[in-house]
Structure 1
């Protein structure tokens, strides 16, 4: 039996007593936990000690390095088109929100300017939607790609959206599941290291972080969102990845759809040069940052939405992953309307309430293994600032299982606020700040 370099209890004690980990301690404990040498209850204690006492920038940076070291890494150095034109790479990560379908139009838009977008995405959990769940509403589309398939598709199409492979940062998969059941999810060092270990291992040259703030976001306050954004930008820079972050509002759902197939439908409107103004604004803002990170500035980013170039990349991307870009999207079997309770101006629409209602309709999952309904979700017919009349439909609830309507409606209690005519909505714009 091999002798271990450290003892788990010694490392737990270090952080319990507000000490600073050495690089060697971090390297060992992350690797030993992944190997099963450090027991779940020991890592639970360590996660709580980190939750309570934090980690320095150097500790978090080393933790990320150790997490990456537990698995394989990807590299797109030398990536080029079939004609031999070099392709820089850029990616985006969102911390999750309601109606956040931005990845769908964003990847093709950035790729239409000659920047490859290797987007590894996840599935939804709770009230926040998952990009892979949305795309799986498209008949035939598949999320699992081999490394060779990803390289080929990036070279020929310029964009992918795929599931991360099992060998990419395996330490994070174990630790993420543990944090979920030990009340240590809401911990900036552990959130930041979870996100950035995967993004750095993914091998992108430039990274833009969309850090959501508001009721529908993981970070409810601007202060906490800013702390997370600053930590992740520093981690990216320390690892040699050109990283910037935008703080963006998630107090109100993005766009006019929340769900899976309905969000694909809205993304297609954006790719066709239309779509809700807030979705277009954020898509263009993030694309501009991704292109700048890859060395491309001074271009009319929005033009490639209206001229069809981004749509062309979308169609090729969907087809390359087995999807039928022309197929009809699933439609829900049952619908119910939610009506305005008064005349006036909608002044607030709570993203958390709407996201929870969509989840309860079947668009999301409570556990990783739960199925989702492709057609479930919500269409919004009014947003803050709109004049509404009593009895007017302000949203449509959609599901294949009508017994879900009651609990979905319960989630919407207090989610809509209507003020007297002339009222101004609670609004602070989409992009709140930029950190670099």
Structure 2
């Protein structure tokens, strides 16, 4: 009985794989009530799960729905980020890997709260479709080598229903539940290799290196146990990734990187992620060879061509640059060094302006956003631009004040923050 399973987990005892499978199957059929599954999620949040339990939960979620077909023999690679401010790496990485000979069936999500969603960014491109039929998705993958779509109701429906409950029961931050949620969708995509980018810092869900490493280790263990070679990196999210925050704004910055330019940190994290995947997928013998190939594909326009093909195949019309709201420059009130850039506060400003959502059904204004002109450790002079606010009409003075509070300038020298904190394998 379901009450016996709940009591077992309530008492911090281990469930068998068969018990976990029957729980998920009953939940998807409707035999297990939402309040019972909420109780299970809370018991897991409090007592945790063993790796065996987490693997069983992941497998049951995968088997609750459909898996992607395989129509080519190209290595199927993907990356997942735990979410951060200004994180537009997926938009660059998918076409770059496709240009290198991989197949990238990327299942992405929307933004909620302070983290931006890859699907929202792509939908700022006129006509871009994130909901593709299985047949059309397979066709895009075969022809282009990459597609970025949302998870439809047929992919891991057990996870979809459980996630909706976790969102309203304060159980989002459970490492076993996060692990099963991420991996169930990636396993449903029938990948050959996966890289997890675990964000660390004030602008991320994992605020400490210890928390982030616990999640990364869980994902690596369970992914590998499930037959999916999984690696991880930990990257800094105590300041925005790159210059741009916002939807159309971040697409434009992605185009800059695909053109061979863009902010150094965005290009570097893209290359660092892609080179690991190329080695995992057998498309390079080592990271040095992979870096050489990937650098060439970014600089010679091959990755940009793949992005354009993907956009066209998914119904989009890609102009040279996407239109933004009116630009308002914000200048430094004093000279000094940027000591802090509060990523989460800047993201909240963009969200309040309409660039994010507080509720799932909120409508997004893709044209609003922010540019940050500097990184922690950068020297600025009085009157020098430190940010640009994109908002139509007269700028809201409250937002300008909040930007000044988020970008802290000090007189003393401040060390620049490292972008990459850890790489797999963890030593």
8 Å Cα contact 2:77/2:103 also seen in 1:
yes
Paired residue secondary structure (1:120): strand
Structure 1 unaligned blocks of 5 or more: 1-6, 81-85
Q: Does 2:341 correspond to 1:349? A: yes
Q: CA deviation at 1:414?
A: 3.9
Structure 1 stretch displaced more, 362-371 or 378-387: 378-387
8 Å Cα contact 1:138/1:329 also seen in 2:
yes
**Distance of 1:139 and 1:30 partners within structure 2:** 39
Q: Rate the CA distance shift 1:328–1:269 in 2: closer, same or farther, 3 A.
A: closer
Q: CA deviation at 1:36?
A: 2.0
Correspondence for 1:309: 302
Q: CA deviation at 1:217?
A: 0.8
Q: CA deviation at 1:359?
A: 1.4
Superposed, 1:138-149 pairs within 5 Å as 138-149=125-136
**Distance of 2:416 and 2:358 partners within structure 1:** 30
Paired residue secondary structure (2:360): coil
- Describe the superposition over 1:242-262 as per-residue Cα deviations: whole angstroms up to 9, x where unpaired: 111111111110111011111
Paired residue secondary structure (2:23): helix
**Distance of 1:167 and 1:409 partners within structure 2:** 44
TM-score normalized by the length of structure 2: 0.94
Correspondence for 2:6: 12
Paired residue secondary structure (2:424): strand
Q: Does 2:365 correspond to 1:373? A: yes
8 Å Cα contact 1:249/1:432 also seen in 2:
no
**Distance of 1:147 and 1:109 partners within structure 2:** 23
Q: Rate the CA distance shift 1:191–1:35 in 2: closer, same or farther, 3 A.
A: same
Q: Rate the CA distance shift 1:400–1:180 in 2: closer, same or farther, 3 A.
A: farther
**Distance of 1:328 and 1:284 partners within structure 2:** 23
Correspondence for 2:420: 430
Q: Does 2:59 correspond to 1:65? A: yes
Correspondence for 1:364: 356
**Distance of 1:166 and 1:409 partners within structure 2:** 41
**Distance of 1:99 and 1:304 partners within structure 2:** 23
Q: CA deviation at 1:197?
A: 0.7
Q: CA deviation at 1:401?
A: 8.0
Correspondence for 1:399: 391
Correspondence for 1:74: 68
Q: CA deviation at 1:431?
A: 4.4
Paired residue secondary structure (2:371): strand
Q: Does 2:54 correspond to 1:36? A: no
**Distance of 2:187 and 2:391 partners within structure 1:** 38
8 Å Cα contact 1:278/1:430 also seen in 2:
no
- Describe the superposition over 1:321-342 as per-residue Cα deviations: whole angstroms up to 9, x where unpaired: 111123651321x444433232
CA RMSD, Structure 1 to Structure 2 (Å)? 1.8
8 Å Cα contact 2:14/2:53 also seen in 1:
yes
Correspondence for 1:257: 244
Superposed, 1:213-252 pairs within 5 Å as 213-252=200-239
Paired residue secondary structure (1:183): coil
TM-score normalized by the length of structure 1: 0.92
- Describe the superposition over 1:246-297 as per-residue Cα deviations: whole angstroms up to 9, x where unpaired: 1111111011101111111111110111010000000001110111111022
Q: CA deviation at 1:432?
A: 2.9
Structure 2 unaligned blocks of 5 or more: none
Correspondence for 2:39: 45
Superposed, 1:19-418 pairs within 5 Å as 19-76=13-70, 79-80=71-72, 86-297=73-284, 298-299=289-290, 300=292, 301-326=294-319, 328-332=321-325, 334-400=326-392, 405=396, 408-409=399-400, 412=403, 414-418=405-409
